[in-house]
Amino acid sequence: MENSSDNKNQKKEFLGIMFECCHVYGRIYKNKIGNAYNGYCPKCMRPIKIKIENGGTSNRFFNAG
Ligand SMILES: [Zn+2]
């Protein structure tokens, strides 16, 4: 019955990004579906979303713009 709880097998994957709005480095976390990373700027709470294509992201750095 390992699959009965989906939380246990899920890794908490995150992406480190530079938030250009405040010039701070932060982490955003993969959403439940696994098709994007979602997060907020730690300083101004600006929301950011990075789409994941084909199970990976093509760029190493993202800006919150
Ligand atoms: Zn900010």
| Residue 28 structural domain | 2-51
**47 C-alpha to ligand 1 centroid (Å):** 9
Is 20 within the bounds of a domain?
yes
**41 C-alpha to ligand 1 centroid (Å):** 5
Count of domains observed in the chain: 1
Is 43 within the bounds of a domain?
yes
The predicted-structure confidence for 8-58, as pLDDT tens digits, reads as follows 555 678 999 999 999 999 999 999 988 899 999 999 999 999 888 765 655
**40 C-alpha to ligand 1 centroid (Å):** 8
- pTM value is 0.63
47-51 sheet: strands from edge to edge: 14-19, 24-30, 36-40, 47-51
